[in-house]
Amino acid sequence: MAEAVAVKARTLTYVAAINEAVRIVLQEQPNSFVAGEDVGGAGGVYGYYQGLQKEFGEDRVFDTPISEEGIIGVGVGAGATGCRPVIDLMFMDFMGECMDEIANQLAKMRYMFGGRATLPVTILTMAGAGASLAAQHSQSLEAWLCHLPGVKIAMACDPYDAKGLIISAARDDNPVFVVLNKMSLAMKGEVPEGAYTIPLGKANIVRPGTNYTIVTWGRMVHEAKAAAEKLKAFGIDAEVIDPRTLQPFDTQTVVQSVKKTHRCMIVHEAVRFGGFGGEIASQIQELAFDYLDAPVARVGAPFSPVPFSPALEKHYVPNADSIVAGVKGQLGL
């Protein structure tokens, strides 16, 4: 399925692209609304709902009490009874407050009702470190969600993807988490005017390459691209693949790349141990083992809470240099 892209493009920031996507959703779906903490008058903690309450009214863009359990509960109930809510979960870390609603209601109700109930709920949430927000506001917890059948997970690396993935999520009849990155809010990129979609479950080959594959998502896509430029000095032409959605995951594109390049590294900002990279590595060795010239490598954060100290946090988050070091270590360079 090809992406449906509007013709005219211009440059927007990541935060402006999010705002534009939500506006389009509210315009084209009269039974949609936005609910969350401070999404109304304040326009959200990061400002990507600015102006929407004034434009669409307090009935469609409204603040909730400080209760993540209640916020997700609103989404579950409204989605099951005919609405198409956009729910704001301010920080991904706060999933711990509402995991029963996510894991036992949102993810399972369509299955438990034999498909007669739909849960067209879009949840926007913010992940990632780098802003010195410490251990409870900086985590990347996508692996929690990937283990839940019934939930889709999209990871937006840039303004173009943020807008397209939000619109795709809102048009889907299943619960979709669109995981945004707080360190990308000021990033600028080309974004078409009007509505367009990005297929959920189709990876994007961000940078074609011939003899190495790097699979990564979110903000790490940009670090991987920078690492690929540095690796050229060592004769490595790295292909960078952004799956865009971790569930559903585009295994075919990754496996085809590995069969071509014979080497692979998976990079994520989340803690390396137990991260989603381990699942991808398993799929590669199951489907492309005979093509591998080296074990699948992984780069991720150390097994530690995210530190508050800017110096420690800088060391904690993977970057282009740590990716290059990991590739060189894998290949014995």
CA distance linking residue 174 with residue 236, whole number of Å: 40
262 is catalytic: no
In whole angstroms, how far apart are CA 291 and each of 5, 231, 258, 263, 288?
36, 22, 7, 8, 5
Q: Taking the CA of residue 153 as centre, how many other CA atoms within 13 Å lie in the half-sphere pointing to its CB?
A: 24
Question: In this structure, are residues 303 and 271 in contact, taking their beta carbons and an 8 Å threshold?
Answer: yes
- Name the active-site residue from 137, 147, 268, 315: 137
Q: How many CB atoms lie within 10 A of CB 119?
A: 26
The position carrying tokens 């050229």 is 232
In whole angstroms, how far apart are CA 106 and each of 77, 91, 172, 179, 296?
9, 18, 14, 17, 34
Annotate 244-281 with b (16+ C-beta within 10 A) or e (fewer). bbbbebbbebbbbbbeebebbbbbbbbbbeebbbbbbb
Question: In this structure, are residues 272 and 221 in contact, taking their beta carbons and an 8 Å threshold?
Answer: no
Q: H-type helices in 4-158, by residue range?
A: 14-28, 52-56, 68-80, 99-100, 109-112, 142-146
Closest CA to 41 of 15, 14, 61, 68: 61
Question: In this structure, are residues 142 and 156 in contact, taking their beta carbons and an 8 Å threshold?
Answer: no
* Residues tagged active-site: 137
